Amino acid sequence: MSIKPPVVWCVGGSDSSAHAGLQADLRTGQDLGCHVQTIVTCITAQNSKEVRSVEPVSLIVFNEQWQALLDDVPPAAIKVSLLPSIDIVKACSVWVQRVKTDFPNVLVIFDPVMAASSESGNRLQQDSVGASLLESLLPHVDVITPNLLEFERLTGLSGQQPVVDIQSQLAAYLASSKCAWLLKAGHSDSEQATDWLVGHDSVIGFSYEKLTVHNTRGTGCTLSTALASFIAHGYDLLDAMTMAKAYITGALKRGVQIGVGAGPLGRPGWPLQIENMPTIVSPFSPVMSMNQPFAKMDLGKMGLYPVVDSVAWLELVLKQGVKMAQLRIKDPNDVDLKHKIQQAIALGKEYDAQVFINDYWQHAMTFGAYGVHLGQEDLDVADLTQIQAAGLRLGISTHGYYEIARAQSIQPSYIALGHIFPTQTKEMPSQPQGLTRLAHYATLLKGTFPTVAIGGIDAERLPAVVKTGVDCIALVTAITKATEPEAATRSLMMTFEASVGDKR
């Protein structure tokens, strides 16, 4: 039985060359496992060299398309692009508002196409449409994705100034709607470009190396449709944005020469190549990256990875033959904290095991720990340079593609992926990842960073988790809440080894 794909509505123009427009939307959505339904705004006569004519559809036909789709199946996400006239802009605004009212969880991506990206640069809409786009549509969309030229035409602001100044000047727009602005830098002349996602209280950069390629038609269409597709699959905005940027890089690398002018992008499939991931940057702080990787792990000692909250539990699992474990003491005011960390480090050396200290990186450095494990929030305050200079291994928690991209530039010793299933130990701000996402993460990182799966994993679930391709499995309650924890530990180790053998 096939799995029903998420439905994405794409609103835009038909491109007779099939390089961009709705034809590119259809290819992108299908490539990413979505079912794309289209609402045609205009018919264009164009090829790889020029746009010869643009004819808007009638309002009757435009409105009937919306109603016909609404009468059948609602979308998981909507992507809006070319709106050739003020009348269609206003009608689109009404329909988007209606959908958002009836289905509040549907996110709308708006790619404000204003000129063809062919050599001619011909206009695809009336000159008077720009102001109407922001006035009518912006209050009802979630993300707008202009390139710098489109941004300047829409707002009258310069796209060449620092992004923090742009955020300040966008204050009125940001205050009047929840729409985030993705300012695309693909037309810039620099070798390293950054797309900035600007919100009311945040600015996040997705940096990437500019590719010297010729076949670039439909880049904007493909990016916005990829973003809508990942959102339709249930990813949050930051994860979807990270994935869309990785997808575009892969698509540009696979561009095809069809016609005399610039050809269309390729369709690279799900983003599983680590080299295509963007680097996450901030305008408020230096790029969080390391010139050298952290010390490597002994992969032969990775397998079962108990995470325990006391020295007694740590000693118990090490006695059973575990070669990798973590001490996670939640109370920073524990009067014996330093002594417990020292004990844990000593036990690791006694049993020749890779023992990580959770959070307390200063104490881990002071007492010569094998490694330290940090969460995403710790990365903002920990002195990574000192940790690396001290020779400690570093593990980093992640909860999706955005945090994986953030972690990869640090070049840690391993990347933890979680939480996979609902957990009993603490409230989690994110949703469980599940096995399908975990398998994608493992493939993405394979051969570059060792991976640890964590969160809600027990003996019954362990074999399926191993089959996703992760290198290590962290367990908490499967041991500490077992009736016979020593026997449970040995059994889990045997199950892991057997599952690895079955996978091979």
Please report the pLDDT score of residue 120 as a whole number. 41
Q: Is the pLDDT of residue 1 over 50?
A: no
Report the C-alpha gap between 467 and 288 in whole angstroms.
32
Q: Is the pLDDT of residue 363 over 60?
A: yes
Local structure of 126: helix, strand or coil: coil
384 CB neighbour count, 10 Å cutoff:
19
Angle between helices 401-408 and 434-445 (to 10 degrees): 20
Burial class (CB in 10 A: 0-12, 13-18, 19+), 385: exposed
Structure tokens that stand for 261 in this block: 């002018």
362: CB partners within 8 A, 6+ apart: none
Structure tokens that stand for 219 in this block: 């880049």
Query: How does pLDDT run across 92-142, given as a tens digit for each residue?
Result: 999 999 999 999 999 999 999 875 444 444 555 555 676 688 889 999 999
- Tracing tokens 């600015």 back to the chain, one arrives at 203
Report the C-alpha gap between 479 and 200 in whole angstroms.
45
Q: Which residues carry a binding-site annotation?
A: 326-330, 358-359, 378, 397, 423-426, 456, 476-477
Q: Which residues carry a binding-site annotation for Mg(2+)?
A: 359, 378
pTM above 0.75, yes or no: yes
For 57-162, where are the alpha helices, taking DSSP H only? 59-70, 86-102, 129-132, 148-155
Query: How does pLDDT run across 438-456, given as a tens digit for each residue?
Result: 999 999 999 999 999 999 9
**Strand 279-281, strand 203-209: pairing:** antiparallel
Q: Is the pLDDT of residue 214 over 70?
A: yes
Structure tokens that stand for 9 in this block: 């509505």
Q: Is the pLDDT of residue 235 over 70?
A: yes
Query: How does pLDDT run across 398-446, given as a tens digit for each residue?
Result: 999 999 999 999 999 999 999 999 876 666 666 789 999 999 999 999 9
Query: How does pLDDT run across 266-319, given as a tens digit for each residue?
Result: 999 999 999 999 999 999 876 567 889 999 999 999 999 999 999 999 999 999
Longest dimension (CA), the chain: 79
Question: Is the separation of the CB atoms in 162 and 123 below 8 Å?
Answer: no
Domains and CATH numbers, the chain: 7-281 (3.40.1190.20), 299-503 (3.20.20.70)
| Size of the chain in residues | 504
Report the C-alpha gap between 13 and 144 in whole angstroms.
18
Query: How does pLDDT run across 166-205, given as a tens digit for each residue?
Result: 999 999 999 988 999 999 996 666 788 999 999 999 999 9
Please report the pLDDT score of residue 118 as a whole number. 41
Give the DSSP letter of residue 51: E
Question: Is the separation of the CB atoms in 79 and 47 below 8 Å?
Answer: no
209 CB neighbour count, 10 Å cutoff:
13
Residue 266 zone, left/alpha/beta (φ > 0; ψ -120 to 50; rest) = beta
Q: Of the spans 156-160, 258-262, 343-347, which averages the highest pLDDT? A: 343-347
Q: Taking Cα atoms as reference points, which of 225, 192, 169 lies closest to residue 20?
A: 225
Structure tokens that stand for 292 in this block: 């050298």
Residue 420's Cα: distance from chain center in Å? 16
